[in-house]
Chains A and B, each alone.
Chain A
Amino acid sequence: MGDPKARTSDATDAELIASWQRGDQRAATALVERHAQALARFAASLGERDGVDELVQDTFVRAFHSLDAFRADSSLRTWLFTICKRLVLDRKRAERRRRDGVELDEAHAVVGFDALDGMVAEETAQRVQDAVDRLTPLQKQVFTLRVTEGMPYNEIAQVVESTEGACRVHYHNAMKAIKEYLSDD
Chain B
Amino acid sequence: MIECLDLAKRDRLPEYAHGRLGAAEAEAVRAHVAGCAVCAADLAALETSRLVLSARAPRVDVAAIAAAVTAATAAPTRPALSVARGAASAAPIAKPVAKPAARRTGWASRPWLAAAASILIVVSVSLPLVQSAGRVNGAPVDSASLAPAPGGGTDPVAVEPAAPAPAAAVATGVPVGDGFAELSTDDLSTLLAELEQVEATIATEPASMRKPIVDTPEVR
- Chain A residues near B (Cβ < 8 Å): 4, 9, 12-14, 20-26, 28-29, 32-41, 43-45, 48-54, 56-62, 64-66, 69-71, 73-79, 82-83, 86-87, 89-91, 94, 110-111, 113-117, 119-121, 123-125, 127-129, 132, 143-144, 146-155, 157-158, 161-164, 168, 175, 178-179, 182-184
Closest 10 CB pairs of A and B: A154-B153, A150-B18, A121-B182, A182-B179, A23-B80, A54-B132, A32-B66, A86-B144, A154-B155, A74-B150
B53 touches A41 (CB 8 A): yes
Q: Which residue in B75, B144, B217 is a CB contact (below 8 Å) of A90?
A: B144
Are A12's CB and B209's CB within 8 A? yes
Least CB distance, B106 to chain A, in whole angstroms: 9
Q: Is the CB of B150 within 8 A of A179?
A: no
Question: Residue-by-residue, is B170-204 near A (CB-CB < 8 Å gives 1, otherwise 0)?
Answer: 00000001111011000100010000001101110
Q: How many angstroms between the C-alpha atoms of A164 and B131 in the bound complex?
A: 38
Residues B141 and A26 in contact, CB atoms below 8 Å apart: no
Is B35 in the interface zone, CB < 8 Å from A? no
**Chain B residues with CB under 8 A of A78:** 150
Q: Which residues of A contact B57 (CB under 8 A)?
A: 37, 40-41, 43-44, 148
Cα A21 to Cα B73 with chains together (Å): 10
Contacts of A26 in B (CB 8 A): 86-87, 90
A146 touching B14 in the complex, CB below 8 Å, given contacts A26-B86, A40-B57: yes
- Quick one: which of B50, B129, B145, B206 contacts A62, CB cutoff 8 A? B145
Q: CB within 8 A of B59: which of A12, A37, A83, A94?
A: A37
Distance A150 CA – B196 CA, assembled complex (angstroms): 11
Q: Counting chain A CB atoms within 10 Å of each CB, which of B48, B61, B212 scores highest?
A: B48
Q: List 7 A-B contacts (CB under 8 A).
A: A22-B82, A34-B202, A40-B59, A43-B57, A65-B73, A74-B213, A125-B55
Query: Which of B145, B147, B208 gathers most chain A CB within 10 Å?
Result: B147
Instruction: Report Cα–Cα, A123/B179, bound state, in Å.
Output: 10
Known: A73-B212, A116-B116. A32 touches B182 (CB 8 A): no
From B155, B182, B191, B205, A164 is in contact (CB under 8 Å) with B155
Whether B119 pairs with A33 at a CB distance below 8 angstroms is: no
Given contacts A90-B141, A119-B191, contact A25 B87 (CB under 8 A): yes
Interface centre among B52, B81, B83, B208 (most CB of A within 10 A): B52
8 A Cβ contacts from B120-134 to A? 120, 123, 127-129, 131-132
- Which chain A positions have C-beta within 8 A of B137? 61
Most chain A beta carbons < 10 A, residue from B105, B158, B182, B206: B206
B97 within 8 A of A: yes
**Which residues of the partner chain B approach A175 to less than 8 Å between Cβ atoms?**
42, 45-46
Chain B binding surface SS class: helix
Q: Give me 20 other A-B pairs in contact (C-beta within 8 A), A20-B78, A60-B65, A86-B141 excluded.
A: A29-B70, A33-B105, A36-B65, A49-B127, A51-B132, A53-B127, A53-B132, A54-B135, A75-B209, A77-B202, A79-B150, A113-B120, A116-B55, A148-B53, A152-B15, A152-B158, A158-B150, A163-B218, A178-B49, A184-B179
Q: Is the CB of A23 within 8 A of B217?
A: no
Q: Which residues of B contact A (CB under 8 A)?
A: 11, 14-15, 17-18, 20, 41-42, 45-46, 48-62, 64-70, 72-75, 78-83, 85-87, 90-91, 97, 105, 112, 115-117, 119-120, 123, 127-129, 131-132, 135-137, 139-155, 157-158, 160, 177-180, 182-183, 187, 191, 198-199, 201-203, 205-206, 208-210, 212-213, 215, 217-220
Known: A86-B144, A182-B48. A150 touches B210 (CB 8 A): no
Verify B136–A25 contact, CB threshold 8 A: no
| Interface-central residue, B20, B144, B157, by most chain A CB under 10 Å | B144
